[in-house]
Amino acid sequence: MFTLISSAINNTMEVLAPTIAAEDQFVWHWKQVMNFYETSDKTSRDVPIEATNISLHLQKMCHILCDEQSPDLSDNNTTDVLLNGSSIGPSMEYLMQNKILDTMSSLAQTDTPLGLTHHILQFFTTLLTHSSHELLPHKCVYSSVQKIIVICGKLIAGPYESSEVKFLTCICDKIHENPQLINCFLSDSFPLITALLALLQSPDQVISTTSGDALLRLLDSVNERAEEIIAFETPFSCKIADQLVSLYQAIPRSLRAEQMESAINCCFKSVDTESATNFESFSPAVRKFLCFLRWFVFIDMIVNHLSTKESILRKTLLDNFKKDFLEACICPDLLGMGYESESDAADHIFLTTVLVSNCLRNTVSEYLSTTIGEFLIVDTKTDQLINNPKYNEKTNKLKNILLDRCRLIETNLANDEQNSSSITIDCKRIQLCMSSMQLFEDILVKPSVSILNELVVQYLSDRSFLDEYILTNDTNSDFSEFSNLMSSYSNSGSEEGSAVNFNYVSTSHVQRMLQYFTSLVPDELKSCVSDDDLGYENYVREAQKHFKEVGHICNKWKNWSTESIILDDSQSTADEKTNNIVINGKSEHKLNSKSENQFFEGPFMAMIFDNLEHMVQLPYEVNLQVTSLISRLALFPHQYLNEYLLDPTIPLVCNTRSLFSILHKLVDELQILVQGMNGLKDKLQITRKSLLGESDKCEAESNDTTDGKTLRIMEALIVIEEFCKELAAVAFVKYHNTF
């Protein structure tokens, strides 16, 4: 009964006292806010905002502005006015004409009463997000927004970080929707960038991640003028690089490589899966590494988001990345500088090598991967950074130092002891060897033209590995068809900018190439018994996938597969002065004249071939890494690489090594080693199952009783058998694909 009476009274009051117009309500709330500053003295303003009604008045004002612009909620009798071509309601008109936003931004800078800044940030964010009109182009709006931006990020881990990052994200979203708006914020020092950089360094991971996302959206919208201001008038590039260096230097040197690899595998799993690992569950050392990797990935994303080819900002960022991180940190650490103990230096070199590999593996941007790869392989300025007495000879190129670590056996030592049962190799050397070869393979996943030319192509460019006399005069040989086809292909050339066709040999010739590889290992030395495992077909799908990836990269290199190799000026000058190529601490003379009939495959291929020749003496894991590196190199669609690595029919000059000739020699050597061995087939099958993790307990025990020399022979045979199938699959795929 009383409820009915109360309802009737309220209805009567609404009739007698009509609802106040939204504009009047808005004005009243604003006057109530200002009344606090007009009537209170300085001491009474020190109270927290919760002790006042200011936050409530600001919320009501914001709701009125948003409701007024909504077609469903606005007063139909309200007459909107135009401001800069936009239709706005009377409350918004009042707000703009009386410069209320400007006053709010000034009040936010004082944060009086305490906590006011938080509510004003919320006011701006809500208004800009929910307004049906584009407000930022109006000067009275973006000038006030600029004042608010300046106070964001002033205090690291400040009390208003959450509100600040939401506000900045709102601004970046608006610019991303309308890139022209960025011109409103291009004042000196670009405060929007400065604020985002400050919040990026927040210890709160949510704040840091959100500000990073906002920054990436902003960089998607930058124009040339914006890039110039960010590059030259803000500390953007320096701070990004400095933070990477700081996080890198914080990684404890006690971290183990296997911890690094395990953490990456866990963290890159989907967060939706049950197997995903919580960041807090890792050890402090691993967490510090993951913080570094997270920042590295962020840099990669920045570089990738700068879409223009000649980006000034990208160049500036990569220059700082190279100078402050690669030259100042990575190069000394790869050389083991600063360690008195050889053992400590070796541990640190190994850790750094694995870390750089993981960085490359998690790089998306070709610009960043090229910067790292060329620093390690091509950049001659790197030589000046090597001041360790250990590397004070002509071998002090970083590339040659890395190559030297890929060798476990000196050639003369291997020849002296090839009949011995074993060559003792230190476990740490094996680890460093494998990680160094893995580093080269990771570089070859996304290389540049300069990297491939430096490592391989420049040594094959004159084709001095071919015996031209036999090639042109022996018409009855197996490679006569190859000679004619290659000649016609070279003469035909290719149109500039057109896709390159690598089907320059006939189907019958390819079949013979495949036959050479698939029949290299005699049936009695093969470990496979199933028809499904005998052929190379199981490797085709994987080869197809990787060849497409390689082709996508190489298609950007105009005429790379057929043109003559042109080295950069510094390299050309050096080669003119001397043709000495330093390898293994020795100087070998490379004669460029084809008439001398002398060929050198280059330090990189020499390292690979040396390891391949000593397969029987090397650990199984190292042999897998060697064959994996060769397979990666063989995928590149270059005319000379196709000839030298994948065509066993080509005539070679005397004393010239090729991939097939080394494999053929290895098989001959293994055939001699297994003579008189009882139960060879059984031993091969047991070893194969053991390597695949498929052996049962009895077979495992039987394999454990096998002596080390016999086991290495079995493993080498299996590696060669599978490697030949893989090479056949690569040759098959390269023939059947045209880019």
- CA-based nearest residue to 715, from 738, 692, 739: 692
Measured CA angle at 163 (ends 36, 126), to 5 deg? 75
**Token digits for 653?**
């000059």
Residue 566 pLDDT level (bands cut at 50, 70, 90): very low
Residue 177 clears pLDDT 90, i.e. is over it: yes
Question: Which amino acid makes up residue 708?
Answer: G
Q: For residue range 618-667, list pLDDT tens digits in order.
A: 999 999 999 999 999 999 988 889 889 999 988 999 889 999 999 999 99
* DSSP character at residue 614: T
In 3-state terms the chain splits into helix, strand, coil percentages (rounded to 5) of 65, 0, 30
> Per mean pLDDT, which range of 210-219, 570-579, 639-648 is the poorest?
570-579
Distance of CA 266 to the CA centre of its chain: 18
Residue 279 pLDDT level (bands cut at 50, 70, 90): low
Residue 262 clears pLDDT 70, i.e. is over it: yes
Given a contact cutoff of 8 angstroms between Cβ atoms, the answer to whether 617 and 414 are in contact is yes
Helix (H) or strand (E) holding 86: strand 86-88
Residue 60 clears pLDDT 70, i.e. is over it: yes
**Secondary structure of residue 588 in the 3-state scheme:** strand
Query: Between residues 702 and 238, which one has the greater pLDDT?
Result: 238
CA distance linking residue 242 with residue 372, whole number of Å: 17
Residue 81 clears pLDDT 90, i.e. is over it: no
pTM: 0.85
3-state secondary structure 513-531: HHHHHHCCCCHHHCCCCCH
Residue 598 pLDDT level (bands cut at 50, 70, 90): confident
Q: What is the mean pLDDT of residues 199-225?
A: 93
Given a contact cutoff of 8 angstroms between Cβ atoms, the answer to whether 46 and 113 are in contact is yes
Q: Count each helix (H run) and each strand (E run) in the chain, helices first.
A: 36, 4
Residue 581 clears pLDDT 90, i.e. is over it: no
In this predicted structure, what is the pLDDT of residue 583?
Answer: 37
CA distance linking residue 215 with residue 168, whole number of Å: 9
Q: What is the mean pLDDT of residues 93-99?
A: 92
Residue 16 pLDDT level (bands cut at 50, 70, 90): very low
Given a contact cutoff of 8 angstroms between Cβ atoms, the answer to whether 213 and 169 are in contact is yes
Given a contact cutoff of 8 angstroms between Cβ atoms, the answer to whether 218 and 175 are in contact is yes
Q: Give the burial string for 447-483 (b: 16+ CB within 10 Å, else e).
A: bbbbbbbbbbbbbbbebbbbbeebbeeeeeeebbbbb
Most confident of 152-156, 189-193, 524-528, 558-562: 189-193
Question: Which amino acid makes up residue 668?
Answer: D
User: Angle between the 236-249 and 224-233 helix axes, to the nearest 10 degrees?
Assistant: 60
Q: Average pLDDT over the chain, rounded to whole?
A: 81
Q: What is the mean pLDDT of residues 46-54?
A: 88
**Token digits for 666?**
């290895």
Phi, psi of 83 (to 5 degrees): -135, 115
Most confident of 23-27, 46-50, 470-474: 23-27
Question: Which amino acid makes up residue 696?
Answer: D
Residue 71 clears pLDDT 70, i.e. is over it: no
- Considering Cα of 203, then 205, then 208, then 212, what sign does the dihedral take? positive
Phi-psi region of 655 (alpha: psi -120 to 50; beta: other; left: phi over 0): left
Which residue's entry shows tokens 């040999």? 505
> Per mean pLDDT, which range of 105-119, 251-265, 444-458 is the poorest?
251-265
- CA-based nearest residue to 87, from 136, 133, 23, 137: 133
**Secondary structure of residue 587 in the 3-state scheme:** strand
Residue 564 clears pLDDT 50, i.e. is over it: no
**Secondary structure of residue 592 in the 3-state scheme:** coil
In this predicted structure, what is the pLDDT of residue 635?
Answer: 94
Q: What is the mean pLDDT of residues 555-567?
A: 63
**Token digits for 372?**
């790292």
> Per mean pLDDT, which range of 196-210, 232-246, 467-481, 500-514 is the poorest?
467-481
**Token digits for 292?**
């570094």
Inter-CA distances, 670 with 236, 394, 410, 663, 674, Å: 60, 38, 21, 10, 6
- Where are the alpha helices (H) located in 131-179, listed in sequence order? 139-151, 161-177
Query: Between residues 559 and 74, which one has the greater pLDDT?
Result: 559
**Token digits for 287?**
């967490």
For residue 113, say if its preceding peptide bond is cis, omega within 30 degrees of 0: yes
Residue 506: other Cβ atoms inside 10 A: 14
- Considering Cα of 448, then 452, then 455, then 459, what sign does the dihedral take? negative
CA distance linking residue 672 with residue 90, whole number of Å: 98
**Secondary structure of residue 328 in the 3-state scheme:** helix
Q: What is the mean pLDDT of residues 322-339?
A: 91
Residue 490 clears pLDDT 60, i.e. is over it: no
Residues 6 or more apart from 217 whose CB is under 8 A from it? 172, 173, 175, 176
Q: What is the mean pLDDT of residues 134-151?
A: 92
CA distance linking residue 634 with residue 683, whole number of Å: 31
Q: For residue range 666-682, list pLDDT tens digits in order.
A: 999 999 999 988 888 88
In this predicted structure, what is the pLDDT of residue 407?
Answer: 92
**Token digits for 608?**
């690979």
CA distance linking residue 210 with residue 198, whole number of Å: 12
Question: Which amino acid makes up residue 520?
Answer: L
Bridge partners, 583 (sequence order) = 586
In this predicted structure, what is the pLDDT of residue 359?
Answer: 96
Given a contact cutoff of 8 angstroms between Cβ atoms, the answer to whether 251 and 289 are in contact is yes
Given a contact cutoff of 8 angstroms between Cβ atoms, the answer to whether 243 and 295 are in contact is yes
Given a contact cutoff of 8 angstroms between Cβ atoms, the answer to whether 373 and 443 are in contact is yes
In this predicted structure, what is the pLDDT of residue 46?
Answer: 76
Residues 6 or more apart from 542 whose CB is under 8 A from it? 729
In this predicted structure, what is the pLDDT of residue 337?
Answer: 84
Residue 739: other Cβ atoms inside 10 A: 15
Residues 6 or more apart from 615 whose CB is under 8 A from it? 623, 626, 666, 716, 719, 720
Residues 6 or more apart from 328 whose CB is under 8 A from it? 245
**Secondary structure of residue 81 in the 3-state scheme:** strand
In this predicted structure, what is the pLDDT of residue 700?
Answer: 56
Residue 339 clears pLDDT 90, i.e. is over it: no
Distance of CA 568 to the CA centre of its chain: 26
Q: What is the mean pLDDT of residues 296-304?
A: 95
Helix (H) or strand (E) holding 203: none
Residue 120: other Cβ atoms inside 10 A: 25
